[in-house]
Structure 1
Amino acid sequence: MISKSKLLCTSAGFVIALTAAPSLAQELTIESWRNDDLTIWQDTLIPAFEAAHPGITVNFAPTAPTEYNAALNAKLDAGSAGDIITCRPFDASLALFQDGYLADLTDLQGMDGFSDVAKSAWSTDDGSQTFCVPMASVIHGFIYNADAFAELGLEEPTTEEEFFAVLDAIQEDGTYIPLAIGSVDQWESASMGYHNIGPAYWAGEEGRLALISGDAKFTDEEWVEPLRVLGRWGEYAGEGYQAQTYPDSQNLFTLGRAAIFPAGSWEIALFEEQADFALGAFPPPVPAEGDTCYISDHNDIGIGLNAASPNAEAARTFLSWVASSEFASLYSNALPGFFALSNEPVTIENELANEFVSWRQDCESTIRPTYQILSRGTPNLENDNWLHASNVLSGAETPEDAAAAIQAGLDSWYTPGMYE
């Protein structure tokens, strides 16, 4: 016969178990555009988190990059978005925060481990509120077939003149297409072309901030000249490059048919997996000997909390882990070419990734000029850069006409100081 006291204890324990159950078994879903990262999350990052937090399970559910913004906005509007939102940098995520879709993470444990510069891509204009944990930046430059360079007796170029001399030598030899780049996927022409080489002409942050303040325009010489340089690339991009997609460019390079790939550091893992030749990398050449080197070292990816998540406490636990040095090390080495933004030093094991990050020692860093403030209106400045840079690369528009069109679009809605 069960005693009354034992029954009460049993009942009490049952009630406690029922009460505790929700906090011990919560499932989080991560929204992301990084579908290439699926196995890294599933095999490395999520297992590490779940091992330390056995009451929380995590599901990484990416969407194709080109569909992510629209799909995420639709889910947020419908109330069906996941708990964790992977954040684009600057204006796109700021708009989600201002619309109430992203939670304020200013006081999140671990957020003090990031500099103001790292947090700037996911903070309000005055820096008083931060709504996504900074995860990583990417660096632009050029990845090349080191075996082809050795075969042709070529050295890494450091100036614009040397760069085109290398392209001429590759063209004359005829074994390889000098540059693997197409103009169909317009972002490729802007991000890996115009925004890659441009900072050396417009002086990086100085020029970018001058655009925002109204002290510079895209029609100024320092903004037109890199478009002229980009226009010359078409001579070296191979037959039919105007119909060439970004995946086509990747394949041309990894199959050994092209010698140089205008790149972001995010290419490292894929290229090392697919190419059967040695890889090298060099930063954007400077306009002339003695000029300052600049790199696009762009805050690229953050991660935030869906303000409507029913699992906010568990999600904040996960985001605090993302802010940790453990995550920074795991992420940087699982995905070489994505460089952690944490103040904590991270040892990077990948040789090519170390080459990219070493440029920070000798070059001035800047971000893409279209991402902060200037793409909040219509027409969108980032999309205008895509369109007109691709037109210049394909030969459909002169650099001067492209610059004028980009500036006219910005002038149609933007007044310097309107967001102060």
Structure 2
Amino acid sequence: MARSTHTHTRRALAALGALTAGALALSGCSGGSGDEAGGDTLTLWHYEGANSAMGIAWAEAIKVFEEETGATVAFEEKSFEQIRSTASQVLNSDEAPDLMEFNKGNATAGLLASQGLLADISEAVEEYGWDDKLAPALQTTARYSEDGVMGSGSWYGVPNYGEFVTVYYNADAFADAGLEIPTTYEEFTAVLDAFVAQGVTPLAEAGLEYPLGQLWYQLALSQADRGFVDDYQLYTGEVDWEGEEITYATETLADYVDAGYISPDVTGLKAEDAGVSFINGSAPIFVSGSWWYGRFADEIDGFDWGLFPFPDSDLSLGSSGNLWVVPERAANKDLAYEFIEITMRPEIQALIGNNGGLPVAADEADITDEQSLQLIQAFNAINEKDGLSFYPDWPTPTFYDTLVAELQELVNGTKSAADVQQSLGAEYDSYVADFR
């Protein structure tokens, strides 16, 4: 059913309130998009660490930009939480930067686009040919309808890197146990059983934050097709919360706890705890994102490790990385477009790739680091079969918190799988119904 503009505005404003409740305006330096910035200063915000793949590549892009344009970049590193929690306030003020990194998805970039806070950059996309460099699934997160639903409509952002969820494994632990990389799901559970038999909890997990929800969604994807993903993420059809995909995921996750694959203590652990348990060799397997890759490469020195795709699943969690977005109130939009274009060049893309990131438009021949090439080839293989399926919390602004809380109940045994699914479905449907 089509929804009215009044309903849309009320819903979007309520969601914005959820994102910004209690947030304080950013302190410190001005955003620099007023008169004093002038036409020769690009104010840039992002939240990537200086030693991350994107931080390294974008620092070089700043140098190139300043050399080629004669303009100055006023760069301010913000935390993810600073940008997330204050976005609606800052972008609706004279403090808006000219260009910033922002999270992709309906509940984030889509929501701000629907409120008129982000510039429609469709003409720039056509002028620079960015659409020709991005695979279809990567374009999905850059385009939003008037209601802020991704996948169609105008361009409101451009990604220049990607991300996906894979299975990291401790190769030495596998070898010591006489185990090989599983290629089927049956072989995967046999590996998990083998570690349990040795007294080892095989899966590094965290229930206070995202990793457990990602595993839940990957299990659902193993039973799903693209139609399910489109219904769930793009609201193209009804999602059956008692259907095969979600029931399998929820019941299987509970089974993992019962079988000893996951510790019941994960309800008190954060993502950092899970990652560290893999780094220090405590847990031999970690199902999580490519954003861990660079850190693992830097910090793991006691064993060999690698990755493999989740067995018997054509679909994987993943998407474009976060987006370059241009605020509607940006003072220097043309400079912002020039900077985006530089970050899409082969030499900058290669910097992302050679430092553990996933470039969206790199030539594999430019990737000289063997470990990085392995990651990029795995990502490209998923893109070639249109396997990127986004993340479980994207459909609503509050679904992340709900999913974390409900899966904690599942692991603790305080709720059945059926009750968890009912609660998740109620949260999902209460928001999504207005988009149908």
In the superposition, the TM-score normalised over structure 1's length comes to: 0.80
Taking the aligned partners of 1:227 and 1:178, their CA distance within structure 2 comes to: 19
Q: Cα distance 1:57–1:300, how it changes in 2: closer, same or farther (>3 A)?
A: closer
Question: Which stretch shows the higher mean deviation, 264-273 or 74-83?
Answer: 74-83
Q: Secondary structure, in 3 states, of the residue corresponding to 2:44? A: strand
**Shift in Å at residue 33 of structure 1?**
6.5
Residue 28, structure 1, aligned to residue 51, structure 2: no
Taking the aligned partners of 1:314 and 1:31, their CA distance within structure 2 comes to: 16
In the superposition, the TM-score normalised over structure 2's length comes to: 0.78
| Counterpart among 379, 384, 392 of residue 410 in structure 2 | 392
| Counterpart among 407, 412, 423 of residue 405 in structure 1 | 423
**Shift in Å at residue 155 of structure 1?**
1.1
Taking the aligned partners of 1:141 and 1:128, their CA distance within structure 2 comes to: 30
Residue 227, structure 1, aligned to residue 250, structure 2: yes
**Shift in Å at residue 190 of structure 1?**
1.1
Q: Is the CA contact 1:295–1:363 (under 8 Å) kept in the aligned structure 2?
A: no
| 1:120 matched residue in structure 2 | 140
| Counterpart among 381, 399, 406 of residue 399 in structure 2 | 381
Q: Secondary structure, in 3 states, of the residue corresponding to 1:177? A: coil
| Counterpart among 75, 78, 83 of residue 98 in structure 2 | 83
**Shift in Å at residue 384 of structure 1?**
2.8
Unpaired runs of 5+ in structure 2?
1-36, 146-150
Q: Cα distance 1:166–1:352, how it changes in 2: closer, same or farther (>3 A)?
A: same
C-alpha deviations, 1:140-196, integer Å up to 9, x for none?
Answer: 12101111111111111233332222112112223x4311112122x22112x1123
Residue 97, structure 1, aligned to residue 121, structure 2: no
Q: Is the CA contact 2:217–2:392 (under 8 Å) kept in the aligned structure 1?
A: no
| 1:196 matched residue in structure 2 | 218
Taking the aligned partners of 1:317 and 1:248, their CA distance within structure 2 comes to: 40
Q: Cα distance 1:298–1:313, how it changes in 2: closer, same or farther (>3 A)?
A: closer
Query: Structure 2 counterpart of 1:257, which letter?
Result: S
**Shift in Å at residue 411 of structure 1?**
2.7
| 2:315 matched residue in structure 1 | 294
Larger radius of gyration: 1
Q: How many residues in Structure 1 have an aligned counterpart in Structure 2?
A: 380
C-alpha deviations, 1:80-101, integer Å up to 9, x for none?
Answer: 2322121222211122122222
| 1:5 matched residue in structure 2 | none
Q: Cα distance 1:46–1:398, how it changes in 2: closer, same or farther (>3 A)?
A: farther
Trace 1:150-169 onto structure 2 (pairs within 5 A).
150-169=175-194
**Shift in Å at residue 313 of structure 1?**
2.7
| 2:304 matched residue in structure 1 | 278
Trace 1:304-323 onto structure 2 (pairs within 5 A).
304-323=325-344
| Counterpart among 157, 171, 195 of residue 196 in structure 2 | 171
Taking the aligned partners of 1:33 and 1:74, their CA distance within structure 2 comes to: 22
Taking the aligned partners of 1:164 and 1:28, their CA distance within structure 2 comes to: 50
**Bigger share in strand:** 1
Taking the aligned partners of 1:44 and 1:153, their CA distance within structure 2 comes to: 45
**Shift in Å at residue 330 of structure 1?**
2.6
Q: Secondary structure, in 3 states, of the residue corresponding to 2:73? A: strand
**Shift in Å at residue 231 of structure 1?**
2.0
Q: Is the CA contact 1:86–1:303 (under 8 Å) kept in the aligned structure 2?
A: yes
Query: Structure 2 counterpart of 1:159, which letter?
Result: T
Taking the aligned partners of 1:50 and 1:251, their CA distance within structure 2 comes to: 39
Q: Cα distance 1:136–1:409, how it changes in 2: closer, same or farther (>3 A)?
A: same
